[in-house]
C-alpha cells in the first residue's frame, strides 16, 4: 500500500525553488524532528524544553527504541535534535532533504523480496539470463538535518532474468553502519557530505559522534561506509562498493534474492578503504584498484590476481595533496589517474562547505604508472589544464608504443560539482598523452552533457570504438542515452526516454554469439515521473535508435542511483559463495 503523500511546508521558504517533498516513502517516526520550522530559534528556552520532552515521549512510544535505549543514548539523541534545531545555519538547497530527496530520488520505504515482473513489450532474450544489479543511496531514516545525495545507505536493486521471465528484488547492503542504526531505530553517525556545516555544528556533531563511540553505541573499527556506489565481480566474488570502506561481499540466490555476506578484507591484506571503481581485465581476470584519503600517502595503488589475492600496496607520494579521486583507468601497460581540481578539505566543513571543494588555482594532472609497478619510481605526471575528469570511461595503449589514450567526460564547470550539480556540464573527450614527450592532445567527442558512460567490458584497457553514455538533463537526472563512435568522433545513436522519464547509467551486455564490439544489449532502469512507475529497459545497442528489445514493468519504484553491473548466470554459478 502506498501511504498518502504529506506535503511539508516551511515558514521560511528557501530562496530557490524546492519541489514538494513527498514523505510517503520515509519512516514516519522520523518526520517531525527533521522539518521543524526554523522559527523555533526565536524562543530557545521554551522550545528547548519542549524538544527534550518531545524526544523523551517519542522514545517511550517506540518499543524497539525503548528496549535498546539507555540514559546516555537518550541524552545523545536529544543533543542531536538540539544541533539540528538550534545550531545548524539555514539549510542550503544542495543539502536540504526536501530538495535532494524529491521525486524519484526519494528513498523507498522498505526492502522488496523477489517479486515477479511483467514484460509489457518485446521479449527478454536468452543472452540475458542473469542478474542486472544496481547500487544507489536509500537512507533508511529521514535525515534529521542536512542531507547530500551521496549520504544515503546503499541499496541494491536486482532484476533477475531466467528464460524470459524477470523478478525484482531491492535490499539494503547490510553494512555495519546500517545494521547498528537499524537495530537502534535512528541514525547514529552524522552524514559525511552534509553533517558538518558550521564550526559549532562540526564541534557539536563531532562531540556527539565521539560520545556515541565512547558509550559503546558504535565501533568505527567495523567500518563507517555506506556502500552506496557500485558493484564489481572479481576473484569469483561479487562485491558492493563504496569508496569510504572495504568491499562488502554479496550473494545472489537462485530465487533472485540478494544477501550481504559481509565486509571482506582479502585475508587481512586490505585493511583500509578501496575505490568503488576497480578495473577488471577480462583477458586476465586481474583486478586493479586504489584508495585515496586524507593522510599520506594520499593515493595508494594495488591489484589482485585472478583468484582475488591482493598484492602489495604501492604508495604514491607524488600525489601532494588530498584529491577527490573517484575513478581511474588501466591499459595493458599502465594505470592512469586523474588529479583534478576537486580536493578534499575537511577545514571547509567548518565554514559550512562540503568536504569536497574545487580549487581553481590547481592545474589538473594525469598520472601514468606502470600497471605492474612495485613502487612509484616510474610514475609520470602530465599537466592538462582544464581537464577535470571524475569518471574515466576507458584507456588504451596506442600502437606507437608511446601514446596512452583516455576517453572520459570532462567537467566544464567543476566548481558546481557538490552544491549546484544541476549546473554541471560534462563533455566527453579523447585525450592522447605522449608519455615520452609529455605532449597532450585533446578532441571533444560530443558537445552533449554526458556522464555514467560504459563500454563493452571485453574492451576494458584496450582500444575500442563505442561508448554508451547517459544524457544529463540536468544533472543528476538523465533523460536518455547516446552512442558515440570514438573512431569517427561523433554520435551515432540516441534514445530519449520521453517527457518526464529519466534513466541512469546504462550497462552493455554482450550477446553470447556476438562478433562485433556493439553486438549486445543496453540495459537500464527508467522511471516515469508522471505515472510514478519504473521500468527495466533492454535496448538493442547496435541500432541507432536503441530499439526496445524488451520493456519490463517493475512492481515497485526503483529510485535513481549510481552504478550497476550485469552478472551472467554462468558467472553466478562460479561465485565462491553460492
Ligand atoms: Fe562513480
SS (H, E, C) 234-282: ECCEEEEECCCCCCEEEEECCCCCEEEEEECCCCCCCCCCCCCCCEECC
Q: What average pLDDT does range 79-88 have in this prediction?
A: 69
Q: How far is the CA of 197 from the centre of ligand 1 (A)?
A: 24
Q: What share of the chain is helix, strand, coil (3-state, %, to 5)?
A: 20, 35, 45
* Closest residue by Cα to residue 578 from 175, 237, 304: 237
Q: How far apart are the first and last CA of the chain?
A: 33
Q: How far is the CA of 137 from the centre of ligand 1 (A)?
A: 12
Distance (Å, whole) CA 465 – CA 539: 19
Q: How far is the CA of 337 from the centre of ligand 1 (A)?
A: 14
Q: How far is the CA of 8 from the centre of ligand 1 (A)?
A: 32
Phi/psi of residue 337, each to 5°?
-115, 150
Q: How far is the CA of 242 from the centre of ligand 1 (A)?
A: 9
Contact 156, 171 (CB under 8 A): yes
Average confidence score pLDDT of the chain: 86
Strand order in the sheet with 466-472: 450-454, 466-472, 478-485, 490-496
Distance (Å, whole) CA 538 – CA 554: 13
pLDDT of residue 56: 36
Statement: residue 200 has pLDDT above 90: no
pLDDT of residue 5: 35
Q: How far is the CA of 247 from the centre of ligand 1 (A)?
A: 15
List pLDDT tens digits, range 520-550. 999 999 999 999 999 999 999 999 999 999 9
Q: How far is the CA of 2 from the centre of ligand 1 (A)?
A: 31
Q: How far is the CA of 374 from the centre of ligand 1 (A)?
A: 27
Strand order in the sheet with 440-444: 394-397, 403-411, 426-434, 440-444
List pLDDT tens digits, range 220-267. 999 999 999 999 999 999 999 999 999 999 999 999 999 999 999 999
Of all residues in the chain, the percent with pLDDT exceeding 70 is 83
List pLDDT tens digits, range 19-45. 333 333 333 233 333 333 332 233 333
Q: How far is the CA of 246 from the centre of ligand 1 (A)?
A: 16
Burial of 242 (0-12, 13-18, 19+ CB in 10 A): buried
Q: How confident is the model at residue 352 (pLDDT cuts 50, 70, 90)?
A: low
Amino acid at each position: 500500500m502506498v501511504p498518502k503523500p504529506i506535503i511539508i511546508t516551511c515558514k521560511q521558504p528557501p530562496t530557490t525553488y524546492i519541489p514538494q517533498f513527498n514523505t510517503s516513502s520515509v519512516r514516519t517516526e522520523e518526520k517531525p524532528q527533521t522539518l521543524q520550522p526554523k522559527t523555533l530559534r526565536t524562543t530557545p528556552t521554551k522550545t528547548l524544553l519542549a524538544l527534550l520532552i518531545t524526544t523523551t515521549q517519542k522514545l517511550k512510544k517506540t518499543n524497539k527504541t525503548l528496549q535498546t535505549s539507555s540514559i546516555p543514548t537518550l541524552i545523545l539523541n536529544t543533543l542531536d535534535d538540539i544541533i539540528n534545531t538550534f545550531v545548524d545555519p539555514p539549510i542550503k538547497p544542495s543539502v536540504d532533504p526536501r530538495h535532494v530527496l524529491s521525486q524519484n530520488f526519494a528513498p523507498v520505504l522498505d526492502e522488496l523480496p523477489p517479486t515477479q515482473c511483467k514484460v509489457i513489450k518485446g521479449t527478454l532474450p536468452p543472452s540475458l539470463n542473469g542478474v542486472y544489479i544496481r547500487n544507489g543511496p536509500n537512507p533508511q531514516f529521514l535525515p534529521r538535518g542536512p542531507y547530500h545525495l551521496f549520504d544515503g545507505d546503499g541499496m541494491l536493486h536486482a532484476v533477475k532474468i531466467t528464460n524470459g521471465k524477470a523478478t525484482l528484488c531491492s535490499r539494503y547492503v547490510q553494512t555495519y553502519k546500517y545494521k547498528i542504526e537499524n537495530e537502534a531505530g535512528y541514525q547514529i553517525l552524522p552524514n559525511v557530505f552534509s553533517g558538518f556545516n558550521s564550526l559549532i555544528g562540526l564541534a557539536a556533531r563531532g562531540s556527539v559522534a565521539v560520545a556515541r563511540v565512547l558509550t559503546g553505541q558504535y565501533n568505527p573499527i567495523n567500518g563507517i561506509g555506506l556502500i552506496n556506489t557500485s558493484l564489481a565481480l572479481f576473484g569469483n566474488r561479487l562485491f558492493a562498493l563504496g569508496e569510504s570502506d572495504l568491499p562488502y561481499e554479496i550473494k545472489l540466490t537462485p530465487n533472485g534474492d540478494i544477501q550481504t555476506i559481509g565486509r571482506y578484507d582479502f585475508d587481512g591484506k586490505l585493511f583500509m578503504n578501496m575505490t568503488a571503481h576497480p578495473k577488471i581485465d577480462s583477458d586476465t581476470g586481474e583486478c586493479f584498484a586504489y584508495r585515496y584519503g586524507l593522510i599520506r600517502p594520499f593515493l595508494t595503488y594495488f591489484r589482485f590476481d585472478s583468484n582475488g589475492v591482493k598484492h602489495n600496496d604501492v604508495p604514491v607520494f607524488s600525489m601532494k595533496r588530498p584529491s577527490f579521486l573517484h575513478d581511474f583507468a588501466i591499459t595493458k601497460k599502465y594505470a592512469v589517474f586523474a588529479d583534478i581540481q576537486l580536493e578534499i578539505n575537511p577545514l571547509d566543513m567548518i565554514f559550512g562547505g562540503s568536504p569536497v571543494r574545487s580549487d581553481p588555482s590547481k592545474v589538473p594532472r594525469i598520472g601514468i604508472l606502470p600497471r605492474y609497478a612495485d613502487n612509484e619510481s616510474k610514475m609520470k605526471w602530465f599537466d592538462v589544464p582544464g581537464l577535470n575528469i571524475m569518471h574515466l570511461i576507458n584507456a588504451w595503449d596506442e600502437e606507437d608504443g608511446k601514446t596512452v589514450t583516455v576517453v572520459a567526460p570532462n567537467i566544464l564547470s567543476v566548481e558546481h560539482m557538490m552544491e549546484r550539480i544541476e549546473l554541471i556540464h560534462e563533455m566527453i573527450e579523447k585525450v592522447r598523452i605522449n608519455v615520452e614527450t609529455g605532449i597532450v592532445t585533446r578532441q571533444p567527442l560530443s558537445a552533449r552533457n554526458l556522464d555514467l558512460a560504459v563500454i563493452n567490458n571485453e574492451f576494458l584497457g584496450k582500444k575500442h570504438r563505442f561508448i554508451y553514455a547517459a544524457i544529463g538533463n540536468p544533472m543528476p537526472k538523465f533523460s536518455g542515452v547516446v552512442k558515440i563512435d570514438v573512431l569517427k568522433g561523433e554520435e551515432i545513436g540516441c534514445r530519449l526516454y520521453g517527457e518526464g522519464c529519466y534513466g541512469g547509467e546504462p550497462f552493455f551486455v554482450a550477446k553470447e554469439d556476438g562478433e562485433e564490439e556493439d553486438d549486445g544489449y543496453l540495459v537500464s532502469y527508467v522511471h516515469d515521473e508522471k505515472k510514478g512507475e519504473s521500468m527495466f529497459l533492454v535496448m538493442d545497442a547496435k541500432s541507432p535508435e536503441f530499439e526496445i528489445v524488451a520493456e519490463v514493468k517493475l512492481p515497485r519504484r526503483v529510485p535513481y542511483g549510481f552504478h550497476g553491473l550485469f552478472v551472467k548466470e554462468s558467472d553466478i554459478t562460479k561465485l565462491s559463495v553460492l
